[in-house]
Structure 1
Amino acid sequence: MKRKITKWAFKFHGCLGLTAGFFFLLFGLTGSMLMFRSNMERHFNPELHHLTPASKQVSADQIYRMLVRTHPNLQKLVLHDFPQDKYDSYEFMLYKNQQHVTENYLYYVFVNPYTGKILKEGNYQDLSPFFMRWLYSFHYSLQLGIPGKLFTGMVGLVMVFSLITGTIVYRKHFWEAFRWQAGLKFKNRRTTVSTLHRIIGVWSVLFNFILFFTGFWLNRKEFTSVGWKLHPPHVNYVISANLDAVIAESKKVVKGFQPIAVNIPATQGDDIMVRGHMPQTTFFLLQGKPSSIFFNATTGRLTRIAPIEQQNFEKRSDWEVYQLHIGAYGGNWIKWLYLVLGLTPGVLSVTGALLWLKRNRKY
């Protein structure tokens, strides 16, 4: 029975690798390239982060009202990044009200806080001026909108099954690899490729399982009808509450709260959501901006406080899964680890394909 299971797993493992190996390589490579996206963007776009300070600033509320008038048919606006220092700009992310399933709904706008003028803006489907934004969208949707996100989620599932079948096939070699007793063998070309495939597969199996399963999880909504729902065009709703007053109030209602981003509704009935870090949040996968403080969009009054620890299991796990997927929980050394290990799906795809060709006497 064990031999039959192993034989079946071997065939299934090979089929999965041949079917989706190119995409394993593609998603692993693009994911590695994205690990230092924000650092690279700041480095290559100094005009956005080395501004000339002035004595007066334009309020975030004024900038919001300019953007909501000049950019129609939005789902929401997000004050994505506050200026980090007196030389930095505001970054707003605009979520377009998607009209076609293949449409890219993400749009960025950088604004000078001293003049209120737009410094740079564009869609995530544009290769320039921000290639890394294009790559980000390509990584999770292949620039194909909802169908692309569905396909990406399917590739994640295929990789999970490939890892499970690979574990069954190479289960006897795990202990050898972990004890550093399974070294590379250079007897011939096939042996070299085979041992390289096995060693890298064993050492990266847990990482790749986490990476591709979380990739599927983040796109799971596209497996349901909700993820494919489109909304008719509308006129942007303009909030009456003052954005700067709301941000200031969020710091008062919870002592030690650090506002990081603000979700501003473009449809009537939704609250303003100030997202950030609560002082009591210590778990390493719940860092960043998972907690929220809500304010009425008309009156600016506090409606509720939602620390991440008090939110339901789905919302907590969504943030934890996101943090695991992007490696945003341990500083630069975790990012470097993700960058290196993110290349292993590509190595496994290439070595697996070479083994298949050799077995079929084509290599």
Structure 2
Amino acid sequence: MNKKRLWFQLHGWFSLPIWLLFAFICITGTLAVVSHEITWLIHPEARAENPQNLPAKPLPELKAAVEKAYPGADVGLVYTMEPYLVTALSFTTKEIPSAFAYVNPYTAEIQGMSQGITLIGFLRGLHGWLLFPWQNSYSVGYYLVGAMSFVVLGALITGLVVYKKFWRSLTQPRLRKGKGARILLGDLHRLGGVWSIWFLLIMGFTGFWYLVQGILWHNGIDIWPHEDPMKLGSVPVTESLAPTPVTLSDAMESALAAVPELRPASINLPEHNRDYYTFSGYGDSFFFDRYSYQVKVNPWSGEVSAIRTPSTMNFVQTMSHLADPLHYGTLLGPWTKAIWFIFGLILSGMSISGFMIYSKRTVKAGRSKKPVRETPSNIAPGVSEPVEGVQ
């Protein structure tokens, strides 16, 4: 077998045995990229209508709206999304163990409530770990998806070796339409591969990072140092009335004073007396995700207890906040999402066309072989009778 044939066999085997799983992951990932937009399209209650072009209301006002609509509500999380989507606030009451309220960020109107998994969460989970259950930071599905990074990188490398002078497709693309479906399918597969080299590299390396991250989780290696609750002495003690914590508005004011460029994407309210207000968001760092900045505020004193920004991260911490924007194309909002969606479709099509090309060539090669008449084991070649000593 010559080298080119060997590389072609390797390229085929990177897609043939697991092509169905790989294609499924590509398709669900493509849908996950635009999961927010799909939500806007099919769920009217998730749309943040703003016909009067009002400014966004302060997040504490949205929290107050939920507490007013659901008396006794304990709001635990405030989660902001794109400007065209509602703000989601998680809360619990005596009657409702866990739910999300969808609040219009411009009018503070509650437009809906969800007590189950959302479409966004479903698509991300289906793509990220195939909805396999998690136990002790371990999910079989997560590792299966992470292992697909080797398939992406392996198919890319072997494909470039097989396709000599592939760079010509960038300036002189060839698409032969009158020579049969197999030829046309092969041309489309090669064109898609060459034009998607940058995308395949991003998917391969970020997918490999997710695999590494899962291994770290499973082995109890924290990317971020474990944070202990505040010291017991920091909690005020009174003889009669329970101490009153600082308001969310005051805590946010302290966080923004410490990190002026912070734009909160989520706010975790204290779960117990020794917990903090945690403001996670984004700032001026382009490639980082929506949670790369973090400020913790003492709920009793209003003082800032900890600050995290991209400039304070080590390599592993930096990778943990670079992977998502690169993998899901959220760098410039809908514009980069649209590009990632298009190339996700191309990659999905390539996974299917690659299987079709390889299987067609395998079938054709099998049909072209001439049948060979079997020779009994004790008959020497060219002899019609058994030969003594030949076994």
User: Closer, same or farther in 2 for the Cα pair 1:107/1:140, shift >3 Å?
Assistant: farther
Residue 94 (structure 2) pairs with residue 91 (structure 1): no
Which protein has the larger Cα radius of gyration, Structure 1 or Structure 2?
2
Which residue, 60, 63, 67 being the options, matches 1:60? 63
Assess if the C-alpha contact under 8 Å between 1:272 and 1:297 holds in 2.
yes
The residue that corresponds to 2:297 in the other structure is: 295
What's the CA shift for 1:17? 0.3
- Deviation per CA, 1:163-214: give whole Å up to 9, x if none: 22222222x1312212225333542333222222222112112202212431
Assess if the C-alpha contact under 8 Å between 1:222 and 1:228 holds in 2.
no
Residue 35 (structure 2) pairs with residue 42 (structure 1): no
Residue 163 (structure 2) pairs with residue 179 (structure 1): no
What's the CA shift for 1:123? 3.3
The residue that corresponds to 1:80 in the other structure is: 79
Assess if the C-alpha contact under 8 Å between 2:81 and 2:87 holds in 1.
yes
What's the CA shift for 1:138? 0.7
Higher relative contact order (CA 8 A, sep 6+): 1
What's the CA shift for 1:359? 1.8
The share of aligned pairs that are identical, in percent, is: 22
Quick one: which amino acid aligns to residue 152 of structure 1?
V
Residue 335 (structure 2) pairs with residue 347 (structure 1): no
The residue that corresponds to 2:259 in the other structure is: 254
Residue 220 (structure 2) pairs with residue 223 (structure 1): no
- Match of 2:340, SS state, is helix
User: Closer, same or farther in 2 for the Cα pair 1:47/1:9, shift >3 Å?
Assistant: same
- Match of 1:275, SS state, is strand
Quick one: which amino acid aligns to residue 157 of structure 2?
I
- Deviation per CA, 1:50-85: give whole Å up to 9, x if none: 59x9xxx86637968x99x989xxxx9542128969
Residue 16 (structure 2) pairs with residue 18 (structure 1): yes
Assess if the C-alpha contact under 8 Å between 1:152 and 1:216 holds in 2.
no
The residue that corresponds to 2:310 in the other structure is: 308
Mapped partners of 1:227, 1:118: distance in 2: 42
- Match of 2:165, SS state, is helix
Mapped partners of 1:90, 1:195: distance in 2: 46
Quick one: which amino acid aligns to residue 80 of structure 2?
D
What's the CA shift for 1:112? 7.9
Which residue, 133, 139, 150 being the options, matches 2:121? 133
Which structure 1 segments of 5+ residues have no match? 95-105, 125-129, 230-238
Mapped partners of 1:40, 1:358: distance in 2: 36
Mapped partners of 1:227, 1:78: distance in 2: 28
Runs of 4+ in 1 over 6 A off after TM superposition: 112-118
Which structure 2 segments of 5+ residues have no match? 55-59, 92-97, 134-138, 222-243, 368-391
Mapped partners of 2:131, 2:215: distance in 1: 18
- Match of 2:17, SS state, is helix
User: Closer, same or farther in 2 for the Cα pair 1:144/1:197, shift >3 Å?
Assistant: same
User: Closer, same or farther in 2 for the Cα pair 1:84/1:196, shift >3 Å?
Assistant: closer
Residue 286 (structure 2) pairs with residue 275 (structure 1): no
Assess if the C-alpha contact under 8 Å between 2:32 and 2:124 holds in 1.
yes
What's the CA shift for 1:325? 0.8
What's the CA shift for 1:39? 3.0
Quick one: which amino acid aligns to residue 263 of structure 1?
N
The residue that corresponds to 2:162 in the other structure is: 169
Aligned pairs for 1:186-201 within 5 A = 186-201=178-193
User: Closer, same or farther in 2 for the Cα pair 1:255/1:224, shift >3 Å?
Assistant: closer
Quick one: which amino acid aligns to residue 23 of structure 1?
L
- Match of 2:174, SS state, is coil
Assess if the C-alpha contact under 8 Å between 1:61 and 1:243 holds in 2.
no
- Match of 1:322, SS state, is helix
* CA RMSD across the alignment: 4.0
- Match of 2:280, SS state, is strand
Mapped partners of 2:174, 2:83: distance in 1: 49
Assess if the C-alpha contact under 8 Å between 1:185 and 1:195 holds in 2.
no
Aligned pairs for 1:329-348 within 5 A = 329-348=331-350
What's the CA shift for 1:251? 1.9
What's the CA shift for 1:223? 2.7
Mapped partners of 2:302, 2:327: distance in 1: 35
Assess if the C-alpha contact under 8 Å between 2:66 and 2:73 holds in 1.
no
Mapped partners of 1:325, 1:63: distance in 2: 34
Mapped partners of 2:104, 2:170: distance in 1: 53
Mapped partners of 2:349, 2:34: distance in 1: 21
Quick one: which amino acid aligns to residue 248 of structure 1?
E
Assess if the C-alpha contact under 8 Å between 2:256 and 2:262 holds in 1.
yes
